[in-house]
Chain A
Amino acid sequence: MIDIKENSRLCSVCPNMCRDFCSVAGATRHEADSPKHKGAFVKEVIDEKNSLDAAMVDYFYRCAMCKACREACETDLDTSELVLSARTGVKGDLIPSKLGAVRENIVSGNMYADELSDLKSLLKPHLAKGKAHTLLYFGRKLRCEGLAAITGILSLLDKLNAEYSVMETEPDTGQLAYFLGFAEDARALAETCNREIEALHPQTLVVFSADDLRMIKKEFTGPGLSQTIPVIQSVPEFLLELINKMKPAFKDTTEKVSYHDSCALGRELRVFEAPRELIRNVPGVTLVEMAFNRDQAPCCGYGMGLDITHPEIKAKMAARLRIMAMQTGATTLVTGCPVCSIVLNAAAVTDMSDQNSGGIEIIDIAQFLERRLIV
């Protein structure tokens, strides 16, 4: 447990060196979005110099929970923990009405639109029956918005003759509820999720959405899956093992490719090398790093619910990241988490019209490999 009072005091006297590492402040250019100031306002609320009114509550939701600020802080202060504590403290009428509706949808399982109808037929041959040795978990957002990503990974796995199972319906890991400050709801969801996955007795669990993986491996500290499932992996880790074993051939290319480190996969779960190794597996590819990468990589805009609470900020974050990718001269930007690809591609239409840069293809690592695989 962090000492919220002391940490917020230290933030309040800090020279603000975290500001331009912050995914939100870097994109909005608004001084108030700096983590330092959020910490300072937490102190003022604790000291009763400011009250937790509607404006202040909204302010505490202008955070992507990406923890880039922690990496910038030499004292290792984690301002997102201060923000999360403020969010968790918001009760009753102070919960913004929009957020209240989101909470109801999360709890009832209706957070996203209905699952894609094409998905059912795609998944049907692979449904887990009683037991599943290798279980793929896509996550709610992907099952509703990520048909291309799911098609890509299943096609790749089939070409590599991999054995795997999927769930007919997936329980929510509780990640969104957790980061939006609904701690009790998150715990209930996580416990249900764990029970349903454990019932299939998987030896390996492959989690597509990096934020779900972060919730399973890092944030939910109750009776977790980590204790009962021998291997819980991200997609890049799983694919790297598979490709090292199968040694498939890839088409020769002269592409310049860049890679985006998702906050959860990179900063939180330390999966930096596996996706880069996979990209380098394709002969002729030149991997060029973005100016801000690895621990300094900004969030794509998904921001653990920021895309719902502040879509205008999400758009700015995604646009900023696309520009950063284009500055490398790459023609393809690969993401380790498919959710990042979805968010970044959505930004392309609306937010890049005023920029001078040319186009860039943004795809997740599985699709990138699948398209270059020689069958």
Chain B
Amino acid sequence: MNSILTDFYKVAVENELIAALGRDKVSTSFIDRKVYSSDELVEWTCPSPDGDCDPPIADFVVWPDTAQDVVETIKIANRHRVPVIPMCGAAQNRGSILPLHGGIIIDVKSLHRIIALDTENHTVTVQAGVICNELEAFLNTQGYTMNHLPQSQHISGIGGFLSARSAGVVSTKYGKITEMVLGMEVVLPNGDIMRTKPVPNSAAGPNFNYLFMGAEGTLGVITEATFKIHLLPEARMFRSYLFPDYPAAVNAVRLIMRRGVMPAAIRISDELETQVFHKHKGSLMIAMFDGFEELCALEAKEAAGIAASLNAQDLGEKPALEWWEKKRFSVAFPSSEHPAFALPIPGFVRVNGCIDSAGSFDYLVAVQRKLRTLMGKLNMFVVSHSSHFYHTGGMIYPRFIGQLMRGPGLPAAYTEIWKQGILLSHELGGTINHHHGIGLTLARYMNLELGNEGMENFRKIKRAMDPNNIMNPGKLGL
């Protein structure tokens, strides 16, 4: 896909960017443009007929130091109708930051100052490019934590979390990023700077934080935010149970939540994941309780009672502790033997994806069963786990993996896997996504999530705020 800019025009825009920001904040080098033009939507999740994507490429990369640098960039982009794609970490795998029509990538990571730690009022204010690991390490040295600990925390940052409505491994107790943020600063598509108040709560009209969270950079660039923080827990207690099957484990979580017990983390593996990765027959639940010692002990005792009433086998703390210490931040690191990364059979391409969604407790059981059947028919291997729970339900994370034959039919075959998976989730009453975002991969299904009326109103908001359609065009089905 080519840039919409002619070479002559590129030079003009480059000169304006350099004049506004300075030479060292603007790059047109091939290496930078190429690297910044992809997220984790790599070839094995986005195959073209020959199994190799030729991705679009940005015209410019910009590293702002201040929100004002972002303002200047957006003004130039508006003047010349150049696309602007904000990027912070690029840990996503939905193609959210792909520069479909070229344009300017703003790497928000360069906004990386920790602005204020307020231990009296339990808040931290940071620029949006601070990487989660950096923030958490800083807070830990001061005795605090944000309790937003996504698996990608080593590479994902604040702006990306907010833009994609991220969830961390202790979200069951502390919520998603959406429940942690108090106020934010956003550079709007017209170059104005808007701030929302960092207050505990409010009844003064709509909460504008929710306009920008999940918008994936289509409605502005988040440049700063204030979050709740918590004291580091005095104690953590780990428990593991083996249930006869996945529905029994989900039922246990339902009863735990109904009892008012609030584990920081619960993770349930379905029968296949339990068998393949944990070498047990049934459905493994691992739980972590945190807080002060007596609270952990009481919550663990209540959960144990519920597990026992459902005939679960108590496996002690080991599997849960091992997950916490070794696996909670681990991703599928490539190795020559890993089924997702090994060289494919000649003539085939490895494909891989995750159809994560959220819904009621009933939904979790139904979608786990039916998706397994569906993926089997499509010759895909699928394992699932559930690891973010709410009072009314939870999230399911089905990962599919397999090989498809190269050739003209490949893109359609790959698209069909996603389509059938998403339609199934929707028909059973779930969301089309829980915490990975929409980007390009799921853009075509956004009307399932918002409804035709909702989508039309979303488009009206987009047109009103961004009449030149410069902000991350082509994403979210807009």
Contact = CB atoms under 8 A, between A and B. Distances in A.
Interface of A: 6, 10-17, 19-21, 29-32, 34, 37, 41, 55-56, 59, 72-75, 77, 288, 290-292, 327-328
B63 A328 contact: no
B32 A32 contact: yes
A55 B30 contact: yes
A231 B32 CA distance: 47
Contacts of B32: 30-32
Contact of B141 (A21, A55, A73, A291): A291
Interface in B89-140: 90-91, 93, 107, 109-110, 112, 129, 131, 133-134, 137-138, 140
Looking at A11, A20, A31, A55, which has the most chain B CB atoms within 10 Å of its CB?
A31
Contact of A29 (B129, B137, B341): B129
B40 A15 contact: yes
* Chain A interface SS verdict (over half): loop
A72 B154 CA distance: 9
Nearest to A16: B155
A15 B137 contact: no
Contacts of A290: 141
26 contacts: A10-B335, A13-B42, A13-B341, A14-B333, A14-B334, A15-B40, A17-B155, A17-B333, A20-B131, A20-B155, A31-B32, A31-B90, A31-B109, A32-B31, A37-B35, A41-B31, A55-B30, A55-B31, A56-B31, A74-B333, A75-B333, A288-B141, A291-B134, A291-B141, A292-B137, A327-B141
Given A14-B334, A16-B40, A29-B107, 7 more contacts: A10-B336, A13-B42, A13-B334, A16-B91, A29-B112, A30-B32, A291-B134
A15 B152 CA distance: 9
* Chain B interface SS verdict (over half): loop
A307 B351 CA distance: 42
B114 to A, nearest CB: 8
Contact of A31 (B93, B107, B333, B335): B107
Across the A-B interface, the 3 shortest Cβ-Cβ residue pairs = A291-B137, A74-B333, A10-B334
Given A16-B90, A20-B131, A20-B155, A31 B331 contact: no
Contacts of A6: 336
Given A31-B36, A37-B35, A13 B333 contact: no
B310 to A, nearest CB: 35
Interface of B: 29-32, 35-36, 40, 42-44, 63, 87, 90-91, 93, 107, 109-110, 112, 129, 131, 133-134, 137-138, 140-141, 152, 154-155, 330-336, 341
Contacts of B333: 14-15, 17, 73-75
A31 B35 contact: yes
A19 B333 CA distance: 13
B341 A10 contact: yes
A86 to B, nearest CB: 13
Nearest to A293: B137
Looking at A13, A72, A290, which has the most chain B CB atoms within 10 Å of its CB?
A13
Nearest to A329: B141
B141 A328 contact: yes
A14 B340 CA distance: 10
A327 B332 CA distance: 33
Nearest to B137: A291
Contacts of B107: 29-31
A234 to B, nearest CB: 27
A288 B138 CA distance: 13
Contacts of B332: 15
Nearest to B112: A29
A114 B333 CA distance: 48
A76 B381 CA distance: 27
A17 B131 contact: no
Given A29-B109, A32-B35, A20 B133 contact: yes
Contacts of B155: 15-17, 19-20
Contact of A75 (B87, B110, B335): B335
A291 B109 contact: no
Nearest to A6: B336
B138 A327 contact: yes
B63 A15 contact: no
A15 to B, nearest CB: 5
Contacts of A72: 154
Nearest to B30: A55
Nearest to B105: A31
Given A291-B138, A291-B141, A29 B63 contact: yes
B97 to A, nearest CB: 10
A17 B154 contact: yes
A19 B335 CA distance: 18
B42 A20 contact: no
A55 B29 contact: yes
A292 B330 CA distance: 18
Nearest to B111: A29
Contacts of A19: 154-155
Contacts of A291: 134, 137-138, 140-141
A37 B34 CA distance: 10
A74 B133 contact: no
Nearest to A53: B30
Nearest to B110: A29
Contacts of A41: 31
